[in-house]
């Protein structure tokens, strides 16, 4: 199966079972394992008629390619998880809240960004198909289930996508050390998409040119930069904080 993708670990597998069980092609569980989390997965897998196998620990190690799988490994049909940006935007019930990752190639960073995006209620994470990590087993593991709940949309032309977002009335807000204002002194737009670049190179030139605003993340210590997932956590949290306050007024 060309679209088959590996997932492993309790969070990733359990989230997939509850969010999109029909996408699971087969599931492997370590034989003899009988703790509460394993029983929950087995019961849900049986209820959803998921193809189930029991295997020895060394067999699971081989399937998971040495990753820490916690005794649960599965394969999914990734084609059944595809989401279009238009579907997300046209079904929103509140102002758009998006995260765009430009040039994030580390799967650990992508997984952490997805986890934070889920926690802050981001509607979708968008990334270019080229020079991006892409969803894989490591991303699913780090995301702790968020890779199964937050739409992750890859696009062939990011600049064109940014123009399309503007047509929906969505502000494109980039993070940059030379931003016009800092995060804590910016009244954020009601409907926005945050753009995060890689820690080393930042956003690409064309991406920067499509931003309506550039906002800096304040630094009060001695370090000059932060991991992209940490920066994403800060800007997404501040966005959610401002939305909560405005809703209470």
Q: Are 189 and 215 in contact (CB under 8 A)?
A: no
CA-based R_g, the chain, Å: 20
Taken as a whole, the chain contains a residue count of 249
CA 36 to CA 177: how far, in whole Å?
47
- What are the pLDDT digits (tens) for 111-168? 999 999 999 999 999 999 887 888 777 887 788 777 777 889 889 899 999 999 999 9
Reported confidence tier of residue 240, pLDDT bands at 50, 70, 90: very high
% pLDDT > 90, the chain: 53
All structural domains of the chain with their residue ranges:
4-77, 85-248
- Helical H runs in the chain? 10-19, 36-47, 57-63, 85-90, 107-119, 137-143, 158-167, 205-209, 228-248
Q: What is the pLDDT of residue 137?
A: 78
Q: What is the pLDDT of residue 144?
A: 75
Fold held by 4-77: 60s Ribosomal Protein L30; Chain: A; (3.30.1330)
> Which of 82, 63, 83, 80 lies closest to 71, judged by CA?
63
208 vs 137 pLDDT, higher one: 208
Q: Are 41 and 17 in contact (CB under 8 A)?
A: yes
Q: Which helix (H) or strand (E) covers residue 194, if one does?
A: strand 192-197
Annotated binding site: 197, 226
Q: Are 231 and 175 in contact (CB under 8 A)?
A: yes
Q: Could you give the 3-state DSSP secondary structure of residue 214?
A: strand
- What are the pLDDT digits (tens) for 184-207? 999 999 999 999 998 677 889 999
Annotated binding site for S-adenosyl-L-methionine: 197, 226
This prediction's pTM:
0.74
User: How many CA atoms does the CB half-sphere of 108 hold within 13 Å?
Assistant: 2
Architecture of domain 85-248: 3-Layer(aba) Sandwich (3.40)
Residues contacting residue 75 through CB under 8 Å, at least 6 positions apart = 1, 4, 5, 6, 7, 24, 25, 26, 27
CA 173 to CA 146: how far, in whole Å?
23
> Which of 230, 208, 205 lies closest to 217, judged by CA?
230
Please, what is the average pLDDT of the chain? 88
């Amino acid at each position: 199966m060309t679209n088959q993708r590996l997932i492993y670990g309790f969070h990733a597998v359990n989230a997939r079972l509850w969010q999109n069980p029909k996408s699971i092609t087969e599931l492997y569980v370590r034989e003899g394992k009988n703790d509460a989390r394993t029983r929950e997965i087995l019961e849900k897998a049986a209820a959803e008629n998921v193809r189930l196998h029991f295997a020895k620990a060394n067999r699971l190690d081989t399937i998971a390619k040495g990753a820490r799988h916690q005794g649960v490994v599965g394969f999914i049909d990734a084609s059944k998880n595809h989401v279009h940006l238009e579907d997300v935007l046209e079904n929103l019930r509140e102002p758009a809240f998006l995260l765009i990752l430009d040039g994030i190639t580390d799967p650990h960073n992508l997984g952490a960004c997805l986890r934070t995006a889920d926690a802050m209620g981001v509607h979708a994470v968008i990334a270019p198909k080229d020079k991006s990590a892409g969803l894989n087993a490591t991303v699913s593991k780090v995301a702790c289930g968020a890779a199964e709940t937050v739409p992750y949309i890859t696009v062939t032309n990011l600049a064109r996508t940014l123009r399309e977002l503007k047509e929906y009335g969505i502000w494109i807000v980039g993070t940059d050390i030379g931003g016009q204002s800092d995060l804590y002194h910016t009244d954020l737009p009601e409907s926005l998409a945050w753009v995060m670049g890689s820690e080393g190179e930042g956003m690409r030139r064309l991406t920067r040119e499509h931003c309506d605003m550039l906002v800096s993340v304040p630094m009060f210590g001695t370090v000059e930069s932060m991991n992209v997932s940490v920066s994403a956590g800060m800007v997404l949290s501040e966005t959610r904080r401002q939305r909560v306050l405005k809703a209470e007024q």
